Amino acid sequence: MRKWRLFIITLISFIAILGENWVKKILPISLCILLNSNSAACYINFNDGRVEAAISNINVTDNISHKILKINQDLPTKQEDYFQHKLPSQIAIPPIIRPAETNLYLQNALPQDFRISSQIPYSSGKQEILLVSPSTGAEQLYTFNVPGSRSFQLFEVEYKKVSAIDFSSLTNTDSLIVNPEQIKSVLNKFKITFANNSLSKITLSDGTTANFSAGQAIIKSPQGQTVETVKISQNELIDQNIFLSRERSKMNKNIENNTTNKNANLLAKTSESACQAAVSLSLNVISDSLGLWGNKLTTSKSLITKSVGWAISFGSGAIKSNISTKNPMLQEVNCRPPVQCEEQRVSGGSEIRTDLFQVAKGANRKVNLKFEFYVIPDRIELYFDGKQIFGVGPKSGQGNETFDLPTNAEYVGVKLIGNDDVNTRWWYVISCSGSQPHEFEPGEVETPYAGAVKIPVPLNHKGQWYDIDRQTNPRDPNRSFWQASLYNTLNENFLAYKNIAQRHAFYDFADAYLETQPRAIKSRWFKAAAIVTQWNGIGAAEGINLGYMNEKTENFLKKGNEFLFKFNMNNFKYLLDGKNIPGMEGLRGKYLDYKLVEFEQRKAEEFIKSYSYNGSKKEIIQEVNQAFNYGKYCLVKCVFAPDSVSQVIRENFKPGEFDFSNINHRITLGKGIIDKLYEKQ
């Protein structure tokens, strides 16, 4: 008895300490628990210091419940109007199943092995990117604009066989809103269309459609009858816009906080990584918008509307998955500008590789495809304007095919399907040509002597120049070399320049043109190129080099100089007209020149890896290294390396350390020469 008395005193003291409010809260909570056990729904409202409880469905039949209700006569028995406005987010019992973010759950259920299978260009300036899951056969077909366009655009996404998703990864909560069999039929095939990167329309495989505009979705049955019109509230749109605005602010702040150099903001916005960040942001915005609509439509009572919601949610999750930091496929392929279709050599092994090549303008254009598959068979395909125009394999052996291109052709795509055998090896070379370059004769015309005086002869066309003008002053606007070089650039006639000396003079002309013409974008890169190719630089391969360089090394340097020239001329064509080079938009001054160094050395890397050394690669690279390095090779260095080159090598490398076959060494050298030029300004 004494223990019970002590317990009661303690309980009263505890209640007294808690105060009156807790007493009021404990009572209705207890009531709700008891009522819920009797299949009743109970609401509790803690509002302005008051505690209220009421049953939402008064269907009490037992005497015990009647007695409980009489315990507190102050509690209202009917609060329908009152709770209608104040309690939707405070319902306690029974628990309400809120619609989950279905796009995120479906994203977790996607196959994890999607990879780019093909990249198909269209003459309209669009490209198709096909992603395939080898394990399930599922396909995602995206239609974007081509890389290098003024702004990123997603036009359409088509999904096929995506019903083969792993439903075991969905949680128990998800199963309350997801019916696997219904989803499988809906997700077998459907298409989502966009207008200005905004959701415009979705079409399911059975003909069900939904059109979207201004926060409204009109769902129609396969027979074309309107099933339902769904609207997203202004509050939901505002919340979405606030979220997207915050995401944009984060990205902009990250760009602004980059203090690597004075123009970090400009560099970040125009670098390849910034391009990927911008594409990723755009696709995130699209995905979030899809997710908002998906979550909205899956709560509908109409199965047709639910089906549309499930498909949209899948699209949202698929886009999210393809732009994740672990698998950034879509932003990478949209920020990789197409390269010029001129003697491009590609090699590889067991892989599926897709490449996009830009075709130069001109008449009677052709594309030539040479390839070789070794002992293990592989397959190659060529695409133009959304169609496969050639395909062969799997097979072993060599091939050489030429195809005519229409005058409006801008891009061609190559797909190489390597064998699953990891030991497979292959290569292909693609080149595009037109009638224009072949109409030109060699550009340089030798001026004949009349006694001791050279007498100019008439030039046959605008792409020709007198040798004396190139040799004496290629930087003079009034001389034939300047005028011919400008004409050849505009008409992409790189074939007019037949040796290193002529290309060296062109680089000198290009530097003078960009320096003096007000419309041109300024650059010192061409001055650096002129320095490297002068008589005691790369030009020594065609001149007197004291016999330290054998014929194999000379040919290697000559071919490399010829290979790079067409790309450099093409870059100059953009700059002379005041246009941004694709992939270098907005860059100016030293930062543009740094990017040009990186661009050329990536092309040089292609040449170094694909050149036919005939077993003498080590010997050739060693001789080139000796030519550039200092120390025990001082005699050679004095002949082969201009002062600015040798100075940069001394400042950045130990004696004998510079390696011409190392792309990072070559980039360091190129940027160092650029720095020296800017120091002299």
Do the domain assignments include residue 448?
no
Domain containing 151 equals: 102-334
Percent of the chain with pLDDT over 70: 66
Pick from 119-128, 198-207, 553-562: least confident: 119-128
Do 514 and 639 lie in one domain? The reply is yes
Domain assignment of residue 44, yes or no = yes
Mean pLDDT of 207-213: 93
At 477, is the pLDDT very low, low, confident or very high (cuts 50, 70, 90)?
Answer: very high
* Res. 28: pLDDT tops 50: yes
Whether 432 and 356 have beta carbons less than 8 Å apart is answered as no
Contact 111, 131 (CB under 8 A): no
Residues 325 and 357 grouped into a single domain? no
Same domain as 415, residue 353: yes
Of 39-53, 173-187, 574-588, the one with minimum mean pLDDT is 39-53
Of residues 268 and 606, the one with the higher pLDDT is 606
| Section 40-60 average pLDDT | 46
Helical spans, DSSP H, in 443-588: 467-472, 480-490, 500-516, 525-532, 551-576
Instruction: Please give the pLDDT value at position 669.
Output: 93
Q: Residue range 325-329: average pLDDT?
A: 63
Nearest Cα neighbor of 408 from 369, 367, 359 is: 359
Per the model's pLDDT, the better-predicted residue between 624 and 435 turns out to be 624
Cβ-contact 451, 486 below 8 angstroms: no
Q: Residue 253 — very low, low, confident or very high, per pLDDT cuts 50/70/90?
A: very low
Residue 27 has a pLDDT of 59
Structure tokens at 491: 């008409």
Q: Is 310 in the same domain as 428?
A: no
Q: Which of 54, 86, 118 is the last residue of a domain?
A: 86
Between 52 and 117, where is the model more confident?
117
Please report the pLDDT score of residue 680 as a whole number. Answer: 84
Q: How far is 191 from 154, CA to CA, in rounded Å?
A: 13
Angle between helices 617-628 and 551-576 (to 10 degrees): 70
Q: How many domains does the chain have?
A: 4
Q: Is the pLDDT of residue 219 over 90?
A: yes
At 667, the pLDDT band (50, 70, 90 cuts) reads very high
Q: What pLDDT, on a 0 to 100 scale, did the predictor assign at position 45? A: 52
423/559 same-domain check: no
pLDDT value, residue 162 = 72
- First-last CA distance in the chain: 102
Question: Would residue 428 count as lying in a domain?
Answer: yes
Is pLDDT above 60 for 101?
no
Q: What is the pLDDT of residue 347?
A: 79
Lowest mean pLDDT among 63-67, 302-306, 528-532: 63-67
| Residue at which a domain ends, from 334, 354, 369 | 334
pLDDT at 218: 94
Give the pLDDT of residue 187: 72
Question: Exposed (0-12), middle (13-18) or buried (19+): which is 238, by Cβ within 10 Å?
Answer: exposed
**What is the arithmetic mean of pLDDT over 661-676?**
93
pLDDT for 672 equals: 93
SS3 610: helix
Cα distance between residue 168 and residue 605, in whole Å: 47
Q: 128 with 270, same domain?
A: yes
DSSP per residue, 109-136: HS-S--EEEEEEE-TTSEEEEEEE-TTT
- Please choose, from the candidates 389, 386, 414, 432, the residue with its C-alpha nearest in 3D space to the C-alpha of residue 121: 386
Please tell me the predicted confidence (pLDDT) of residue 227. Answer: 92
Run of H or E including 192: strand 189-195
pLDDT of residue 178: 53
Q: Which tokens in the block code for residue 98?
A: 């809120």
- Strand spans (E) along 498-588: none
The structure tokens 């003291």 sit at 13
CA–CA separation, 19 vs 9, rounded Å?
15
Most confidently modeled range among 265-269, 401-405, 487-491, 526-530 = 526-530
How much is the average pLDDT of 176-204? 79
3-state secondary structure of 577: coil
Percent share of the chain, pLDDT over 90: 23
- Specify whether 412 is located in the same domain as 530: no
Report residue 236 as tokens: 């939901």
Q: Is pLDDT above 80 for 255? A: no
Can you tell me the distance from the alpha carbon of 337 to that of 355, in angstroms, rounded to the nearest whole number? 10
pLDDT averaged over the chain? 74
Does the pLDDT at position 272 exceed 60? no
In this prediction, residue 225 has a pLDDT band, given cuts at 50, 70 and 90, of: very high
Q: Are residues 531 and 647 in the same domain?
A: yes
Range 318-357 burial, b when 16+ CB lie within 10 A, else e: bbbbbbeeeeebbbbbbbbbbbbbbbbbbeeebebbbbbb
Q: Say if 465 falls within a structural domain.
A: no
R_g of the chain, CA atoms, integer Å: 36
**Model pLDDT, residue 328:** 64
Q: Does the structure show a pLDDT above 50 at 77?
A: no
> In terms of domains, do 328 and 344 share one?
no
Asked if the model's pLDDT at residue 111 lies above 50, the reply is: yes
Q: Are residues 195 and 285 in the same domain?
A: yes
Q: Which of 86, 114, 135 is the last residue of a domain?
A: 86
Q: Is residue 494 part of a domain?
A: no
The model's confidence at residue 29, banded by pLDDT at 50, 70 and 90, is low
121 or 86: which carries more pLDDT confidence? 121
Segment among 143-147, 379-383, 676-680 with least mean pLDDT: 143-147
Confidence of residue 299 (pLDDT cuts 50, 70, 90): confident
Q: How far apart are CA 253 and CA 283, in angstroms?
A: 19
Pairwise pLDDT comparison (226 vs 135), residue with the higher score: 226
Given this model, what pLDDT does residue 32 score?
56
Q: Same domain for 602 and 641?
A: yes
| Range scoring the smallest mean pLDDT among 206-210, 402-406, 455-459, 644-648 | 455-459
CA atoms lying within 13 Å on the CB side of residue 25: 10
Judge whether residue 213 has pLDDT over 50. yes
Asked if 242 and 130 sit in the same domain, the reply is: yes
How many other C-beta atoms lie within 10 A of the C-beta of residue 198? Answer: 12
What was the pLDDT predicted at 598?
Answer: 94
663: three-class secondary structure by DSSP: helix
Q: In whole angstroms, how far apart are CA 301 and each of 203, 230, 309?
A: 20, 12, 12
